Amino acid sequence: MDKKLFIKNLAGLCHIPISIYQDSAGLTDRLDPLSHPLNSYEQDLVEHILQKLRTSPFAYETYEAGLPVCIMGCRGSDCSFILGPFAYGPIQTPDMENKLKKLHLSPFVECSWNDALAASVFLINEYLDPLFTTAMLEESISEKDHDVQHLLVNEEIRQWESFQENHTYYEENILHDYVEKGDVDYLVDNLELLELPHPVILSDFYKNEEYMAVLSISFAARAAIRGGVTSKEGLLANDIFLKQLEDCRNVNEIKVLIRRALLHFAQLVKENRRRQSRNIHVEKCKKAIYAHRLENIDLDELAEQLGISKEYMLKLFKKQEGIPITQYIRNVKIEAACNMLIYSDRQINEIAEYLGFGSLSYFSRVFKTVTGLAPVQYKKIHSEPGF
């Protein structure tokens, strides 16, 4: 069969442009369903392919900017065949149409990657090597970039056809900005509106949601760290939520866990910023009181440990906490007494002695002032079964 007629029939079957470049005469024929001439960018791609075909039976070039558009080439006995350009993925999406406009590119005919490879093998069989196979063609390809591009295109097509939507980087940043700022109140009111959509990429739907939860929780932890939470605190909380993920029994529980994690990380940021805004001497004072709550606390010694005068310490503490330091010490001691009444087998008089109260009667009077109950009543109520 005449070569030109053969190429015309093949171009009609696969619906892509095919050009013939004779070794001695250059371009001799081009069959293009859209009748679009090649621009300078595409001509450069063709030249690269023709150079590669001097040493290989097959070559190809893909377009820049992530466009799923390709030009392929294959060898004959005394010529080279150029197939394309053709689109092997969707180019009707708004994103792809914008890229085409920016690059001043015309619409392309569409053909699957595998069909274009089959056409190339058909040409090689007819005009170079009748025993050449698709497997041999794929082995001859030295560049593997198209493998990744092919997977990307196929996944985009699958998500597009199944009406699945992924969130944007901008939407992701909005959500994580609220975590990073510690804006708990806003998240509580708007968390459902900020929920990030994502596609189902795995055949196992539950496993898909589980993987997405791992990403959501980990990104939230890192947003909290950017917001000022220590790496140790943020990553430890991240690990705890990932352990809880293992106990989730359905997709709804996974979603609840993600929301709880987002709020927790935002709360960590909020508390950290609140602590940083408070006076360092008062915070050290509170830590020292808590550490020595089972001892008699001498205010002169406490001020000396802080490196400030007792009068200044009392003034700072009242200004920040809103109560005198003696009342704060009393409250901390009574809190310790409550825990000891519930969780230890110590007698009330022993607890009073441990906490530095001078007498049982004084301890009982202070305890009732703070809790509203006498120590014996408190212990009885909290020791009842089912409490």
Looking at every residue in the chain, the average pLDDT score rounds to: 84
| Interior/surface letters 268-295, b for 16+ CB within 10 angstroms, e for the rest | bbbebeeeeeeeebbebbbeebeebbee
For 237-273, the pLDDT digits (tens) are 999 999 998 888 888 898 899 999 999 999 999 988 8
Q: Is residue 57 pLDDT above 60, yes or no?
A: yes
Residues 151 and 185 in one domain: no
Angle between helices 251-276 and 169-181 (to 10 degrees): 50
Q: Is residue 122 pLDDT above 50, yes or no?
A: yes
Distances 338 to 55, 127, 294, 351, 364 between C-alpha atoms, Å: 86, 93, 13, 10, 12
Task: Give the pLDDT of residue 265.
Answer: 93
In the numeric block, which tokens belong to residue 165?
């939507």
Contact call for residues 318 and 325 (beta carbons, < 8 A): yes
Is 228 a domain residue? yes
Residues 296 and 338 in one domain: yes
Residues 67 and 154 in one domain: yes
Is 114 a domain residue? yes
Q: How far apart are CA 18 and CA 78, in angstroms?
A: 16
Residues 7 and 103 in one domain: yes
Name the domain boundary from 143, 161, 179. Answer: 161
For 197-242, the pLDDT digits (tens) are 777 666 677 888 888 889 899 999 999 999 988 888 889 999 999 9
Name the domain boundary from 161, 194, 226. Answer: 161
Distances 234 to 191, 237, 241 between C-alpha atoms, Å: 20, 5, 11
Lowest mean pLDDT among 69-78, 104-113, 323-332: 104-113
Q: What CATH code is carried by the domain that includes residue 48? A: 3.40.1840.10
Sorted by sequence, the CB contacts under 8 Å of residue 186 that are 6+ apart come out as 178
Is 207 a domain residue? yes
Confidence band of 142 (pLDDT split at 50, 70, 90): very low
Is 282 a domain residue? no
Please count the other Cβ atoms lying within 10 Å of the Cβ belonging to residue 212: 19
Is 283 a domain residue? no
Task: Give the pLDDT of residue 51.
Answer: 93
Is 281 a domain residue? no
Residues 126 and 223 in one domain: no
Is 198 a domain residue? yes
Residues 156 and 174 in one domain: no
Among 113, 66, 116, which residue's Cα sits nearest to residue 91?
66
Task: Give the pLDDT of residue 101.
Answer: 78
Range of the structural domain that residue 231 is part of: 169-276
Residues 7 and 114 in one domain: yes
Is 218 a domain residue? yes
Number of domains the chain is built from: 3
Only one residue has tokens 């009111």, namely 189
Model-level pTM? 0.40
Residues 17 and 146 in one domain: yes
Q: What CATH code is carried by the domain that includes residue 302? A: 1.10.10.60
Name the domain boundary from 276, 311, 327. Answer: 276
Check the CA dihedral 21-26-28-30 and report its sign.
positive
Residues 13 and 104 in one domain: yes
Bridge partners, residue 80, by sequence: 21, 75
Rounded percentage of the chain residues whose pLDDT exceeds 70: 88
Bridge partners, residue 72, by sequence: 60, 83
Residue 155, amino acid: E
Residues 12 and 125 in one domain: yes
Three-state SS at 115: helix
Cα angle value 73/12/95 (rounded, 5°): 70
Residues 47 and 180 in one domain: no
Confidence band of 179 (pLDDT split at 50, 70, 90): very high
Confidence band of 144 (pLDDT split at 50, 70, 90): very low
Residues 88 and 9 in one domain: yes
Among 110, 140, 112, 136, which residue's Cα sits nearest to residue 125?
136
In 59-144, alpha helices (H): 94-102, 113-127, 134-140
